Structure 1
């Protein structure tokens, strides 16, 4: 007589415990109930209704992303190779999960295309001399594009600008000629 009740109670306890979740201090759980957004949970321990609620976790720490070296053309038609680094943070976990399928890939893609576009608006001298200005311009463009996704771009830095070997030799000859005068 008590065995069926005991089994039922054990099953109920197991189902209830299966809904417990833990989010670290740097994580937030974006919870959906039957496909609809139900709220943000965490940090700490919280409970999800088994079979009715599920979650996606968002990391709200500052993340870094390397933008691989890519060839771009400056305004004065010089082909250069540029690589950069980007620092971003999820400020709205719900929008970062709901508004874009993969915010990391989306941020990477928008940063790469924006880097090419910004370099294309400047001449080679400007790219070499005014990196801070270009970095700020790039950060503003990427930040404006990702704001709807709940992402804040904190900083963008061009790490290295490679100019073609022929162009380097010509610039060295020009600098030497200026010094000889």
Structure 2
């Protein structure tokens, strides 16, 4: 830049008015705003756009506009989600301590409720553990032997009844492992049965 707002180029000095610089900067700002506002939403997800914490709209799939500082975009997965329960300690109806490893398959059925919940995944896992512990407490040790093959058909409904407030439905609960620590009381109990 030379004196007086001129730029020096190959052919000499060219005048660059301040208005052109302002227009270029405004154009760059607009391009930056558009780039920050657009979000790509996949086929297996939706985006809930909340404007100023009040009005929520469900958008997607495709490009979704989210205005910075006005909107908050929350991605909601629509694919099956696995919720794992690893080494859950529980007690059966006949007072035997067991450790269970299980998993559940869940789907988001209400994207708005899911997006408005602060963190639904840990809450769903907590409900799953609580309901699994309750269900184990209603069974004897002998009844647990068939659970890895039959699963808990009624447990998915019980969990879904509680997780529905977050928009999550549990469709299946699978038990992969049931362990019973061997202690002298358990050995006596087995001998009494035999």
Tell me what 2:164 maps to. Answer: 147
- Tell me the number of residue pairs that the alignment of Structure 1 and Structure 2 aligns: 174
**Can you give the 5+ residue segments of structure 2 that lack an aligned partner in the other structure?**
1-18
Write the mapping of 1:1-181 to structure 2, written as runs, cut at 5 A. Answer: 1-98=19-116, 100-129=117-146, 135-166=152-183, 167=186, 171=190
Q: Which moved more, 1:143-152 or 1:158-167?
A: 158-167
Tell me what 2:12 maps to. Answer: none
CA distance in 2, matches of 1:93, 1:81: 34
Higher relative contact order (CA 8 A, sep 6+): 1
Give the drift of 1:133: 6.2
Q: Is the 8 A contact 1:27 1:43 kept in 2?
A: yes
- Which structure shows the higher helix fraction? 1
Q: Is the 8 A contact 1:118 1:134 kept in 2?
A: no
Q: Is the 8 A contact 1:87 1:155 kept in 2?
A: yes
CA distance in 2, matches of 1:47, 1:153: 31
CA distance in 2, matches of 1:6, 1:129: 72
TM-score by length of 2: 0.80
CA distance in 2, matches of 1:130, 1:13: 58
TM-score by length of 1: 0.85
CA distance in 2, matches of 1:132, 1:149: 30
CA distance in 2, matches of 1:84, 1:115: 9
Coordinate RMSD, CA, aligned: 2.2
Query: Which of structure 1's runs of 4+ aligned residues deviate more than 6 A?
Result: none
Q: Deviations over 1:117-138 (max 9, x none)?
A: 1111111122223566661121
Whose Rg is larger? 2
